[in-house]
Amino acid sequence: DAGVIQSPRHEVTEMGQEVTLRCKPISGHDYLFWYRQTMMRGLELLIYFNNNVPIDDSGMPEDRFSAKMPNASFSTLKIQPSEPRDSAVYFCASSIPGTQETQYFGPGTRLLVL
Amino acid sequence: SQKIEQNSEALNIQEGKTATLTCNYTNYSPAYLQWYRQDPGRGPVFLLLIRENEKEKRKERLKVTFDTTLKQSLFHITASQPADSATYLCAPAGAGNNRKLIWGLGTSLAVNP
Q: Say yes or no for a CB contact (<8 Å) between B101 and A95.
A: no
At B11-68, the pLDDT tens digits run: 999 999 999 999 999 888 888 999 999 999 999 999 999 998 999 999 999 999 999 9
Q: Say yes or no for a CB contact (<8 Å) between A95 and B99.
A: yes
Which of A10, A43, A60 is best to mutate for the B interface (most B CBs within 10 A)? Answer: A43
| Min distance B89 CA to chain A CA atoms (Å) | 9
**What is the pLDDT averaged over residues B57-80?**
96
At A85-109, the pLDDT tens digits run: 999 999 999 998 776 689 999 999 9
Bridge partners of residue A36, in order along the sequence:
A44, A90
| Min distance B110 CA to chain A CA atoms (Å) | 18
pLDDT, position A54: 95
Residue A22 has pLDDT above 90, yes or no: yes
**What is the pLDDT averaged over residues A3-23?**
97
Of B43, B98, B103, the CB nearest to A101: B98
By C-alpha distance, which of B87, B70, B1 is closest to B36?
B87
Residue B26 near chain A (CB below 8 Å):
no
Q: How far is CA B15 from CA B58, B63, B74, B80, B100, in A?
A: 20, 17, 20, 5, 35
Residue A105 near chain B (CB below 8 Å):
yes
Please return the burial class of B99, using the count of CB atoms within 10 Å of its CB with bins 0-12, 13-18 and 19+. middle
pLDDT, position B7: 83
Q: Say yes or no for a CB contact (<8 Å) between A103 and B46.
A: yes
Does residue B24 contact residue B57 with C-beta atoms inside 8 Å?
A: no
At B82-94, the pLDDT tens digits run: 999 999 999 998 8
Please return the burial class of A96, using the count of CB atoms within 10 Å of its CB with bins 0-12, 13-18 and 19+. middle
Half-sphere exposure of A69 (CA within 13 A, CB side): 22
Burial letters for A42-59: b for 16+ Cβ neighbours within 10 Å, e otherwise? bbebbbbbeeeeeebeeb
